Amino acid sequence: MKTILSFQIGQFSLTLLAISCLASCGGEVAVAGLGDGTETDTLDSAIDADDSLSPAFDADSDAPDPCIGKTAADCNDGVPCTADACTTGVGCTHTPDNGKCNDGQACTTDICNPQSGCVNTTTDGACDDGDACTSNDTCATGTCAGAKLVCNDGIPCTSDACVAGVGCAFTADDKKCDDGKPCTADSCVVGSGCVNANVVGPCDDGDACTLGDACASGVCKGKASSCGDGTCACGETAVTCAADCPLSTPGMITLPAGTFTMGAVDATYPDQQPVHQVTLSAFELDQTEVTLAAYTAFYNQLPAAQKCQDSNASGFVCGQPATGAHCNWGVMGREQHPINCVDWFQATAYCAWKGNGARLPTESEWEYAATSAGKVQFYPWGNQTPSCDYAIFSGFFNGNTSPEVIGCGADGTWPVCSKAKGNSAQSVCDLVGNVEEWNSDWYGPYSANASADPEGAANGTKRALRGNSWSETVGIAKAVYRHYAFPTQFTPATGFRCARTQ
């Protein structure tokens, strides 16, 4: 580097033609004088001669800051992935930020090149497709994908599924662990399977000839019924065991006193709840539904003024049942069929005529009888699935889908006690099927309170009916099923039987 400088040192006026080697020569610079002759000296001696020279060579103090008057915008290099700034003493800087190049793809390597910008390179290998229901996720041709996750814990009682955002989930289903035994508590434990733990307490061994059934070591056992145990059951009669079976009115069955749970916990219809405790005194119940022959005897003794067909009056006015399709009145050959097409007033009048305190049964008496004296069972015969082997009703049986079988093929009633297999343990017939039966109660809601010999609601507009009929389906065949009708109504599906307090 050559520079011509003129300056005064003491009494000398000098013109320097050349300054070189400012840094590498340790600050010693050769100078050539002009004008008065050639002089050679060092910069140090010149500076020593006059300190006022040194500022002229102080580069640090005189060089301007490159960032003065500049902002980051002035340093923008046009590359989106760099962080542009002006650094004091340095000038513009451009720092690559790989995060700005993230394309959201699991199978690319994202890099910021300061000169060209983002570079997204396809890669291979393991990845995560973000789906909790896949496994072994791998990059292939730039796409991350995995195999569908199979969720199977090998435990039969769990429902296995893959839940989005969660992965495999295993839900216990206790019903799959039901071993059909009344003395086990069946549960499904995730991770281990079914647990069938023995329980203690009352149970039902399905044998009408045992009493006091209870669970012991996982087995339901009862004591065989015997004369003198206070229960008239398993073939005992007033003749064979007067102590347990009081003499009944001819044609009636004695139901012993007892306490039972009325209603249903898992009710199909709301009116079967709440369940409640009922205590009943001993009573008698007609073994059969009242037959056409029996009702004809009642009708024949009526005065002429009452030998008329029902006038739909509120009270007993006419004793003759309705006639027409499916009605049994006046039909030859049906003497042992249940009387039907009678209203509540006619049924009540018949029972009063029968004498000896006969009356219509209460709802609680009827349900007690229909569960074989308050046993924990669905039907009079037990818990076996309803069919025409047990009772007379309608439905699709034996795999038939069309046509529907009405009245087990009769399209109407059958003779009473035609289905002995469906009798209660006390040999009461047709408590389910053939005709539904008038009860004495007004129809109304149950009370949750325990009661003794209840007579139902204090008032109402409809009377209770119990038991289904030949024209109704097995879906309403359970002993807890309730029905109702206005007391003046009559249908081919409606009949009755009588009861009396013992």
Residue 170 located in a structural domain: no
Number of domains composing the chain: 2
Residue 151 located in a structural domain: no
What is the rounded CA–CA span in Å between residue 7 and residue 1? 19
Residue 443 located in a structural domain: yes
Q: State the helix-helix crossing angle for 292-300 and 344-354, rounded to 10 degrees.
A: 80
Under 8 Å between Cβ of 118 and 112: yes
Q: Is the peptide bond before 114 cis (omega within 30 degrees of 0)?
A: no
pLDDT digits (tens, 9 = 90+) for 308-334: 987 677 789 999 999 999 999 999 999
480/180: higher pLDDT = 480
Beta bridge partners of 395: 405
pLDDT at 26: 42
What is the rounded CA–CA span in Å between residue 195 and residue 192? 9
Least confident of 21-30, 114-123, 228-237, 415-424: 21-30
Question: Any idea what the CATH number is for the domain that residue 329 is in?
Answer: 3.90.1580.10
Q: Domain boundary at 14, 43, 62, which? A: 62
Give me the mean pLDDT over the 451-475 stretch: 93
Residue 376 located in a structural domain: yes
E strand or H helix that includes residue 364: helix 363-370
pLDDT digits (tens, 9 = 90+) for 118-153: 998 888 889 988 888 988 889 988 889 888 888 999
pLDDT digits (tens, 9 = 90+) for 483-492: 999 999 999 9
Give me the mean pLDDT over the 272-289 stretch: 96
Q: Domain boundary at 24, 45, 62, which? A: 62
- Asked whether residue 33 carries a pLDDT value surpassing 70, the answer given is no
**The pairing of beta strand 463-466 with beta strand 436-442:** antiparallel
- Asked whether residue 419 carries a pLDDT value surpassing 90, the answer given is yes
Residue 106 located in a structural domain: no
pLDDT at 357: 93
Residue 208 located in a structural domain: no
pLDDT at 347: 97
Q: 3-class SS at 175? A: helix
Res. 225 pLDDT band, cuts 50 70 90: confident
Dihedral of CA atoms 311, 315, 321, 325 in degrees, nearest 10, equals 60
Per cent of the chain over pLDDT 90 is 55
Residue 88 located in a structural domain: no
Nearest one of 294, 316, 303 to 488, comparing CA atoms = 316
Residue with tokens 């399209």: 411
From first CA to last CA, the distance across the chain in angstroms is 140
**Beta-sheet strands, E only, within 149-274:** 158-163, 167-172, 184-189, 193-198, 201-202, 210-216, 219-224, 252-255, 258-262
Range of the domain at 46: 5-62
Residue 55 located in a structural domain: yes
Q: Domain boundary at 16, 33, 62, which? A: 62
Give me the mean pLDDT over the 445-469 stretch: 95
